[in-house]
Amino acid sequence: MAAKLRKREEIPAQYKWDLSHIYPDDAAWEAALADVLASGKKFAAWEGKVAENPRQAIREYFDLNQQAEPVFSYAFLRGETDNGDPVAQGLRARASQMGVQLSTAMSFFEPELLSLDDALLAEIAADPAMADYDAFLRNLIRQKPHTLPAEQEKLLAMMGQVAQAPNHIFGMLTDVDMSFPPVQMPDGTTAELTEGTYSQFIRSEDREVRKSAFDGIMNTYGSFGSTIAATYNGSVQNDVFQARARHYATARDARMEPLEIPTSVYDNLISEVHAAIPVLNEYLALRKALMGLDELHMYDLYTPMVKDFHMELSYDKAFDLVLEGLKPMGEDYLAKLREARVGGWIDVYPSKGKSSGAFSSGNLRDVHPYVLLNHNDNLSDTFTIAHELGHSMHSFYSNTNQPAPKSDYSLFVAEVASTCNEATMIRHLLKTFADDKKALAYLLNHFLEQFRTTVFRQTMFAEFELIAHTMAEQGQPLTRESLSKAYYELNQKYYGAVCTVDENIANEWMRIPHFYRSYYVYVYATGLCAAVSLSDKILSEGESAVRDYRKFLSAGCAVPPIDALKLAGIDMSSPEPIRRALGVFKDTLAQFKAVIMA
């Protein structure tokens, strides 16, 4: 375990992404930014004239968006690897300002389109020459009740940077200004604790190391609790304002209705997961027994339950394992993963100032996706590689098979391909290690943990978001005390029957960056439920299922997301895939018990 976080310049080039694929240097970015701003001014000349040639206005609208994408992506990615770099911060701030300027300059466009006669809009959508834009027009017509007059749309667009402020403040506080106490190691030394290294320590076999890291993270966030609560309140209040301004009943409606996802999907998820909490309790009780603990604390939930098996994986070994586990996806799929490995797509290791967590950015149609990792040498981070590359491959297939206006797949399906990679990989490995009891037990434990952390935990997060937004919509104050109370009570509901729910777990909501992108976390849970079913089909049906899966990956936003999943044989409008996935959790628990007791 590395005791000290490296500086970025200490990391070999082959383990860093290559942004020169976008622009060779910052000077080229500056030139591109100037070109985009000039194009924005040119597009503004359409104001009041869209009705004269709506087809051409639509084409130029999308051309401008495509022109702006690499400018924004370069600045964003440049800052993610060193949030303390003032030059990178400057680029990112200017890119954000560019986005607001463009949104303001283009704010007239949709209201003017919607002022056209419905029959004319339908005619344009049906025009074969406008086929690239038919999905956009279909959604635009559907959103007509929530589109405001041009001047009001312009005002909302001008608020863009203000609306982004809570997320930016949270990022600067947690990635740059906040520091954590060192972790006390068994040999008497200390190791640096960051969000990037926390996953190492919370999985440690040494309980004191786990507790030291847990307390260090939770108590540090707690010391900033009032500031973070005020920041999150600003984010929630913006969600509520935006929803009301656009005539939605709730902020949740405002997020889900444009994606053509009924809120019943959200409610079904929570209801089905609540029904499965007794199975979660059974799993937690088994963890407590296998670990030989009198009390199971919140910092005991992440360490592997199988103690006599170790799978330490360097990044290169981990990537080899990912390639092995994803063989069922097909050789052309693997070839693209190999290209990603050596082609400057991936930024691998934690470093000073680097953003925590992991993500894939797939917006650059003419370049390739970029993947940020914070790799530690363990199996969990190996699955993170598979997960993020799943996002990248979804972007690759959508960008390759759809025109730009149809290539951006829906938020609702955003976690399906990533989680399908994980599910396919682990189930393939379970067969590979079927005769190795220790390895099999370890992998089953990991699969169970994937369910706990992705379905149960993310659903709990979704409940917290719903509670917070409902409180705001009802005029109740969002304070450190009210938010922490709600979060602690949820932990009691999910874990309290078996676990000792530590008081400082009440601070955990403060460290979740996804809460600043409201009503997103539920798609991790629904994504895994869909992914488990998809991986079943791929592993049992082979090439025919892979072909159907490719249809889903290639669909982009050409069809609604529920219909995109139906191309692969999954109907998420029904609670059945959620029940089926939770049944797999129950069956896997039974299999795990049988293996460890044999």
| pLDDT value of residue 182 | 96
Report whether 382 contacts 446 (CB < 8 A). Answer: no
Average pLDDT over residues 291-304: 95
**DSSP-assigned letter for residue 96:** H
The domain total for the chain is 1
How far apart CA 282 and CA 279 sit, in angstroms, is 5
Residue 363 phi/psi, 5-degree rounding, is -85, -10
Candidates 391, 355, 361, 392; CA nearest to 374 is: 355
Residues 519-547: tens digit of each pLDDT: 999 999 999 999 998 998 898 899 999 99
Instruction: Return the residue matching tokens 């937004």.
Output: 469
Catalytic choice (80, 153, 257, 388): 388
Residues 360-412: tens digit of each pLDDT: 999 999 999 999 999 998 888 999 999 999 999 999 999 999 999 999 999 88
Please check whether residue 363 lies inside any domain of the structure.
no
| pLDDT value of residue 101 | 92
DSSP H helices in 118-177: 118-126, 134-142, 150-158, 160-172
388 is catalytic: yes
| pLDDT value of residue 217 | 97
Please check whether residue 4 lies inside any domain of the structure.
no
Structural tokens at position 250: 């709730």
Residue 498 phi/psi, 5-degree rounding, is -125, -40
Percent of the chain past pLDDT 90, that is, above it, reads: 78
| pLDDT value of residue 3 | 44
Residues 131-175: tens digit of each pLDDT: 999 999 988 888 888 888 878 888 888 887 788 889 989 989 988
Residues 286-299: b if buried by 16+ CB within 10 A, e if exposed = bbbebeeeeebbbb
> What is the CATH classification number for the domain harbouring 152?
1.20.140.70
Please check whether residue 586 lies inside any domain of the structure.
no
Please check whether residue 76 lies inside any domain of the structure.
yes
How far apart CA 395 and CA 402 sit, in angstroms, is 10
**DSSP-assigned letter for residue 357:** S
**Residue 308 predicted with pLDDT over 80:** no
Helix (H) or strand (E) holding 251: helix 251-256
C-alpha distance across the termini of the chain, in Å: 33
DSSP reduced 3-state for 182: coil
Residues 173-194: tens digit of each pLDDT: 988 899 999 999 999 999 999 9
| pLDDT value of residue 310 | 74
Instruction: Return the residue matching tokens 């002022």.
Output: 115
Signed CA dihedral, 558, 563, 564, 569: sign only: negative
The strand ranges marked E within 276-320 are 296-297
Please check whether residue 536 lies inside any domain of the structure.
no
Residues 79-109: tens digit of each pLDDT: 999 988 999 999 999 999 999 899 989 989 9
| pLDDT value of residue 2 | 44
**How far is Cα of residue 13 from the mean position of the Cα atoms in its chain?**
26
| pLDDT value of residue 84 | 87
| pLDDT value of residue 1 | 42
- The identity of residue 503, as a single letter, is E
For β-strands 359-361 and 370-372, DSSP reports them as antiparallel
Distances (CA, A) of 139 to 58, 151, 519: 14, 21, 20
Candidates 555, 494, 561; CA nearest to 530 is: 561
Q: How many residues does the chain have?
A: 598
| pLDDT value of residue 144 | 83
Residues 233-275: tens digit of each pLDDT: 999 999 999 999 999 999 999 999 988 999 999 999 999 999 9
**Residue 421 predicted with pLDDT over 50:** yes
**Residue 557 predicted with pLDDT over 50:** yes
Report whether 529 contacts 577 (CB < 8 A). Answer: yes
| pLDDT value of residue 356 | 84
Please check whether residue 93 lies inside any domain of the structure.
yes
In this prediction, residue 213 has a pLDDT band, given cuts at 50, 70 and 90, of very high
Structural tokens at position 34: 């100037």
How far apart CA 214 and CA 209 sit, in angstroms, is 8
How far apart CA 504 and CA 309 sit, in angstroms, is 31
**DSSP-assigned letter for residue 16:** S
Higher pLDDT among residues 432 and 475, named by residue:
475
**DSSP-assigned letter for residue 455:** I
| pLDDT value of residue 124 | 95
Please check whether residue 448 lies inside any domain of the structure.
no
Please check whether residue 503 lies inside any domain of the structure.
no
Enclosing domain of residue 55: 19-158
**How far is Cα of residue 445 from the mean position of the Cα atoms in its chain?**
23
